[in-house]
């Protein structure tokens, strides 16, 4: 089965055509996805493909309904659209992808694979906000978690590289892309994660704040005279690395500016690392320890600086990396130092593989 995979992220659109043995036979990468022009590029790319048997879409929010991949029909499409206000940055792009491909390949079976599904296993204690019970129930307020396709793949791939069963491992997977989150994976299931009700929570990201004091958000509206729209816009698009450095949210540029002596960029890097290190340690508490730490996503795969800085304060956990292996790593790679009791791995994010496999399974039973 030839599966066309559409992954619409916050900073990029990644399209892959995977053949019957999961080999990549077609590829389109767009660095940004603003609207009609990119949708047209996607449509042109799809129209040029010789053979597509099925389509798999990454959909960021599955709400309480979608805890497994779903074959897309009109009802499923409507339900996905209904979750837009929970992921306003992502959900419209997922829908645009569904519609653009359906226009070119009408009637082609398509499957939605959800970022939230892997985290449906979160224990109640980890998933629940300490809000009034009635609110939690009325609006389905809970920690949903995201990047599940990546965390799920990375944890199974880590087990494979270590020659172990994933069910025997305590893993912290770090998905560090433009959006970033961690997962605590125990017995192959997600037991905790840094993102929450929306993909705004947790780590410092390219343009997102990650977690801030909710009192600060209220204060900005009650005392600084800012509207909810404006606050939302800034927390999503003008914060994180970009907001702190005063420049781009691209980690490469932040590091370059920091190395050139720019104090704002240096602080941005330091805040990013402080939060990352703290949250890695927090994930180990949900696992009662750690056997392996996994870096994936654009930053996780390609930035030895970020990995070394994050690990610098985590030696007490038993995680120590080999400097040379870290510098030279091309994923998938083991960068563990000799004698360390915790393994550290660098793994290429393969949401495309995960989606293709889910798509085949959903369509063939
Ligand atoms: N060599 C590198 N060093 C540091 N950061 C990198 C490097 N290459 C890519 N990145 C970062 O990876 C991010 C994109 O990650 P990716 O996982 O592809 O994004 P997305 O979240 O859109 O899927 C960019 O913000 C960029 O800063
Ligand atoms: C959920 C999320 O943040 O996705 P991305 O990293 O693609 O923006
Ligand atoms: Mg991504």
Pocket test for ligand 2, best of 5, 30, 60 (most atoms within 8 A of CB): 60
Is there an atom of ligand 1 within 6 Å of 29 CB? Answer: no
Which pLDDT score is estimated for 135? 98
The CATH-assigned architecture of domain 3-114 is: 2-Layer Sandwich (3.30)
Is there an atom of ligand 1 within 6 Å of 9 CB? Answer: yes
pLDDT tens per residue, range 68-94: 999 999 999 999 999 998 988 899 999
pLDDT tens per residue, range 217-272: 999 999 999 999 999 999 999 999 999 999 999 999 999 999 999 999 999 999 99
pLDDT tens per residue, range 89-118: 899 999 999 999 999 999 999 999 999 999
Q: Can 3-114 and 163-346 be said to share one CATH topology?
A: yes
Residue 256: nearest ligand to its CA? 1
Quick one: 163-346 is in which CATH superfamily? ATPase, nucleotide binding domain (3.30.420.40)
Pocket test for ligand 2, best of 199, 207, 297 (most atoms within 8 A of CB): 199
Q: Catalytic site residue 115?
A: yes
Q: How far apart are the first and last CA of the chain?
A: 14
Contacts of 36 (CB under 8 A, 6+ apart): none
Where does residue 264 rank: exposed (0-12), middle (13-18), buried (19+ CB within 10 A)? Answer: middle
Which pLDDT score is estimated for 33? 75
Residue 33: nearest ligand to its CA? 1
Spans of all domains in the chain: 3-114, 163-346
Is there an atom of ligand 1 within 6 Å of 296 CB? Answer: no
Residue 240: nearest ligand to its CA? 1
Can you say which residues are annotated as belonging to the binding site for substrate?
58
Say how many Å lie between the CA of residue 191 and the centre of ligand 1. 26
Q: How far apart are CA 173 and CA 153, in angstroms?
A: 10
Residue nearest to atom 27 of ligand 1 (CA): 250
Angle at 191 between CA 117 and CA 351, to 5 degrees: 40
**pLDDT, mean over the chain:** 96
Say how many Å lie between the CA of residue 185 and the centre of ligand 1. 23
Predicted TM-score (pTM) of the model is 0.97
Q: How far apart are CA 116 and CA 195, in angstroms?
A: 10
Phi, psi of 288 (to 5 degrees): 65, 35
């Amino acid at each position: 089965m030839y599966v066309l995979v559409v992954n619409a992220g916050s900073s990029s659109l990644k399209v892959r055509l995977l053949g019957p043995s999961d080999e990549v036979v077609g590829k389109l990468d767009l660095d940004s996805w603003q609207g009609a022009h990119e949708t047209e590029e996607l449509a042109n790319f799809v129209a040029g493909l010789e053979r597509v048997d099925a389509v798999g879409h990454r959909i960021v929010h599955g709400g309480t309904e979608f805890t497994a991949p779903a074959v897309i029909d009109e009802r499923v499409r409507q339900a996905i659209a209904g979750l837009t206000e929970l992921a306003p940055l992502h959900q419209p792009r997922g829908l645009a992808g569904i519609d653009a491909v359906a226009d070119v390949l009408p009637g082609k079976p398509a499957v939605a694979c959800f970022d939230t599904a892997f985290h449906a296993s979160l224990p109640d204690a980890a998933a629940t906000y300490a809000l009034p019970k009635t609110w939690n129930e009325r609006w389905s307020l809970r920690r949903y978690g995201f990047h599940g396709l990546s965390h799920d793949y990375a944890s199974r791939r880590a087990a494979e590289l270590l020659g172990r069963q994933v069910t025997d491992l305590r893993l912290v997977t770090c998905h560090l892309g433009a959006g970033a989150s961690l997962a605590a994976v125990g017995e192959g299931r997600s037991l905790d994660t840094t993102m929450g009700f929306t993909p705004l929570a947790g780590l410092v990201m390219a343009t997102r704040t990650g977690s801030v004091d909710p009192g600060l958000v209220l204060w900005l509206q009650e005392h600084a005279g800012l509207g909810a729209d404006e606050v939302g816009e800034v927390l999503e698009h003008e914060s994180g690395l970009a907001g702190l450095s005063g420049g781009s949210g691209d980690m490469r540029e932040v590091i370059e500016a920091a190395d050139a002596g720019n104090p704002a960029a240096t602080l941005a890097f330091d805040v990013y690392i402080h939060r990352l290190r703290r949250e890695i340690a927090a994930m180990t508490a949900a696992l009662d320890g750690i056997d392996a730490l996994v870096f994936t996503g654009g930053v996780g795969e390609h930035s030895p600086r970020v990995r070394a800085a994050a690990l610098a304060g985590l030696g007490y956990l038993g995680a120590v990396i080999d400097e040379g292996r870290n510098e030279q790593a091309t994923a998938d790679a083991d960068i563990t130092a000799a004698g360390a009791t915790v393994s550290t791995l660098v793994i290429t994010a393969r949401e495309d593989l995960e989606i293709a496999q889910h798509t085949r399974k959903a369509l063939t039973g």
